[in-house]
A = this chain, B = another copy of it.
């Protein structure tokens, strides 16, 4: 992983604040004050044209007065002063910079050009530059708060990286209330130089950061992000909140940042493939960061619910089954031990109900018993604020157990006033604590999914065997002829060069053409009505299968076209497709590829027709594609059971479908000239997968 040397940036020995101010409330004052409050041990140089003292430090009047080779310069001057001052410092060996000043790309063309020049300057002088238009950066381990934030974060294990300054202040405000600490805190701003991939690479190697959480509206470079994120996720969890997942949101995001974001399907695929944990909303981003930072990963999906009340226990069981987790089946030993320890009306099955009069001791004992059960991988612990709850003692006892447990225990303290007392104790112990069961279970679910991803072997990308010479000939011919797409015979030839089986198909405009085509294909053929207006042929009886011999073909052609003329007089009938007979018992699937603006070739897989077009039951993957990942694409559609085989019926040949997906992925990588590809349908049965129709769009 290529990595920027951000040592001077995150752990500077000398920091200059350009535009420092003695007036409280001004950004240039806040930065100096924050640096001091954070306990910065190095040399701090405020710069202000008026000179004088700022927060007790003598200010330089110009950047020219500063020593050369400053580690970090923070710019809080009006936009038009940024470039000249930056250039002066850069010429004198400046190592890194934060441009807080706004007024750049986000304000229109003039700002955009200025920002580009700033970026060029920084690159030319080798200055690592954060921003412009950002809140700043904090590094709690090094006593740095180079930001104008109103609050000082406490020290912790979580690094945060955000494209939105507002999210930064909201998160700092939230963290202050929750006793939640940060290792590094970075507001990316307009990303003129440093972007999320650069930060991710650095934070991935940063021993002070156990978890990385972030907010993004777009990535600057999809490929770099994927490469970096995949590597970092193997070592530590990366949790991302991506804004702009909806149409309305994406429109707002692109006008907000002025950047091309790429499709949400592509982000989804990128996150999934890289093991990045996608937070569905702001609340989850916080909850997930807390859980990952303080709890061990579960080694399996089985959850035990432990509660002092029946109703909440049942609600937790309901919530558990709405996730991909399971309610654990307790072992006989656990049940015996619980029976021995608990009063007679307790419920010793999962959800375990230790009844409303449970004190700290009963909680402690039952939790230890349940944690000791090898069939239990995680525990959701509920406390309803009954009159008999010893809230302080119970929360304290739980905190001790949770901290040394090798399985995640998520405490949920219901209620606000009374429950809040216990929550504070747990929070002070650095543990997550929820007010309701649902968010706790969603954290366990995400942790288990991440644990599974991390256990997966690193994917092996082996290009399938293919006849590249032949493939190149076909593509180049099409390009030379000025075609916009490859379809029909040429498309099937191209796919055969990638080792795929295809079904011969041709359009016959007359019964005579149909008979000739059937002879050419040899053997049994199918006839399918061809009309742009008739989408579902079966609805007008527009398909006849199993035709052998000239007579059968001729008469079927006439029957189909006549029937269409009678039933859909308004439809224009082009003729009939003659197709070598589909394999028996085949299921039709579709697979396609289109190039995402940010992430490159994006593959799609689903069942043909309604399933993919209306029900949206499809899966996505960014190239490259391994065989395991191809199987993952097949397995993750809802209709997978249909392919796998039901009620004793033979399954489709999944390996052949994988082969087709692998070929499509290779094709996309071999030929950047192919912009989109659609194999629809591919007919799959127990014997293989046969491409019936294919169309490839060329970049023009």
Q: Name A residues whose Cβ lies closer than 8 Å to a Cβ of B.
A: 30, 106-107, 148-151, 162-167, 169-178, 215, 217, 241, 243-249, 252-253, 255-256, 281-283, 308-315, 317-322, 327, 345, 347, 349-351, 353, 356, 384-387, 414-420, 435-439, 533-536, 538-541, 545-546, 567, 584-585, 610, 614-615, 617, 638-639, 641-642, 646-650
Given that A309-B164, A415-B173 are contacting pairs, would A314 and B249 also be in contact in the complex, using a CB cutoff of 8 Å?
yes
Which residues from B are CB-within-8-Å of A217?
A: 311, 314
**Distance in Å: Cβ of A569 to nearest Cβ of chain B:** 13
Which residues from B are CB-within-8-Å of A106?
A: 345
The answer on a CB contact under 8 Å between B384 and A438 is no
**Distance in Å: Cβ of A454 to nearest Cβ of chain B:** 28
The oligomer's copy count stands at 2
Which of B414, B534, B639 meets A170, CB within 8 Å? B414
State the CA gap A171–B353 with chains docked (Å): 19
**Distance in Å: Cβ of A539 to nearest Cβ of chain B:** 4
The answer on a CB contact under 8 Å between B639 and A317 is no
What 10 A-B pairs have minimum CB-CB distances, sorted nearest first? A166-B309, A164-B311, A177-B416, A173-B415, A246-B321, A539-B585, A249-B318, A170-B414, A166-B384, A249-B317
State the CA gap A439–B439 with chains docked (Å): 13
The answer on a CB contact under 8 Å between A252 and B546 is no
Which residues from B are CB-within-8-Å of A349?
A: 252, 255
Given that A178-B416, A246-B320 are contacting pairs, would A540 and B585 also be in contact in the complex, using a CB cutoff of 8 Å?
yes
**Distance in Å: Cβ of A537 to nearest Cβ of chain B:** 10
Which B-chain residue is minimally distant from A252 (CB atoms)?
B314
**Distance in Å: Cβ of A559 to nearest Cβ of chain B:** 10
State the CA gap A449–B594 with chains docked (Å): 38
Which residues from B are CB-within-8-Å of A438?
A: 281-283
State the CA gap A246–B318 with chains docked (Å): 5
State the CA gap A248–B352 with chains docked (Å): 12
Which residues from B are CB-within-8-Å of A150?
A: 385, 387, 418
Which B-chain residue is minimally distant from A542 (CB atoms)?
B585
Given that A249-B317, A310-B256, A638-B614 are contacting pairs, would A282 and B436 also be in contact in the complex, using a CB cutoff of 8 Å?
yes
Interface centre among A255, A282, A311 (most CB of B within 10 A): A311
The answer on a CB contact under 8 Å between A312 and B173 is no
Which B-chain residue is minimally distant from A414 (CB atoms)?
B170
Which of B166, B312, B319, B345 meets A164, CB within 8 Å? B312
The answer on a CB contact under 8 Å between B215 and A311 is yes
Which residues from B are CB-within-8-Å of A319?
A: 281
